[in-house]
Structure 1
Amino acid sequence: MSNLPTPGATLYSFRRCPYAMRARLALRYAGVQLRIVEVSLKAKPAEMLALSAKGTVPVLAVEDRVIDESLEIMHWALDQHDPDNWRLMGAPEAQRQMAALIAENDQVFKVHLNRYKYAERYPEAPMEHYRAQGEVFLAQLDSLLQEQRYLLAEHPSLADMALLPFVRQFAHVDREWFAQTPYRFLQEWLQGGLESDLFLAVMAKQ
């Protein structure tokens, strides 16, 4: 599809939410023209709640459609325009790996991340226990990055952008700990992602 402005597109977002981050990354990369509404999680706007009863960001309202899952928003954005082949078209095995990585991130790693970041809410185990559980995924990613600059190719893919905000959050719970881990390739990948023009643009305060 051509990269045409999408009139009337609105994204309800929260700047530091990793799900909202990855939605913004894909939308900006695809060149989708939209209005971003920064949501206060303590006072969610009525118009967002009317669109999506879930009450969580991100929510994309576009034309006659509402999308309230971040990964679905990313796929929708790439359907509009994917100039650098984030979807890894023509590489079915890499696409299978990509789907598996994102599922592992969303369904398993995110659970460990939540318990590590908010360990006081889960007193049945120490913080280090939850960190060690999440660290299994970090080691897997570092191993992939020993093969090429990005997770599945020599250029960024949907996997990199879908995972970046969550690895960032995990690393920032205890930056000194993360800096001394043996995951040098993952550290470089994360730093490169956070310093990229795309990430800096979507994190700029509105």
Structure 2
Amino acid sequence: INRMNDLIKVCHIEGRVKIDNKNIYDEDVDVVELRKKVGMVFQKPNPFPMSVFDNIAYGPKIHKVPKKDIKGIVDKTLQDSALYGEVSDRLDSSALDLSGGQQQRLCIARTMAVEPEIILFDEPCSALDPISTNKIEDLILELKKDYTIVIVTHNMQQAARISDYTAFFLMGKIIEFGETNQIFENPKEKRTEDYITGRFG
């Protein structure tokens, strides 16, 4: 959805992905603007090797946000990512010193700092312990009030807990899409039912 696959020569894409009724693969799409609109949080936390403050300030600075506004953005995104109370006294410390769960929430704050409309989460809890996973899930439930959230997960319990809609992909194709309750309780496609019930995985 953010066209990172453009950088992979062997990647082949068919179909359309529309944002605001515009196919993101049209030739006239500004990819830089698209990536500002579509934030990404990866499977493993990937803080930059710099301070907590500078991790979040990095994106706004690149987008030429006035210097006087940077501190407010850092504070707000840390609060919105439920991290401010844990790191407010060490904003100048290295982000690499944070725990795994804190690093992942920092990456979420860093994404929010450039005000995307959509946030992609790629297995955001797979490298985290259950307590950190719970914090991330609670955060996603809050974030979806203000952002469109697209999350990739192989954890069906997680999908059932935090999503409104679910798409089941198999070998790169959408097999079924619908409201989460319908997908899990009354799937229309046999392959969806087989996956949910553990007949294959």
> TM-score by structure 1 length?
0.33
Structure number having the greater strand percentage:
2
Q: Which structure is richer in relative contact order (CA contacts within 8 A, separation 6 or more)?
A: 1
Structure number having the greater helix percentage:
1
> TM-score by structure 2 length?
0.33
The structure that has the greater radius of gyration is 2
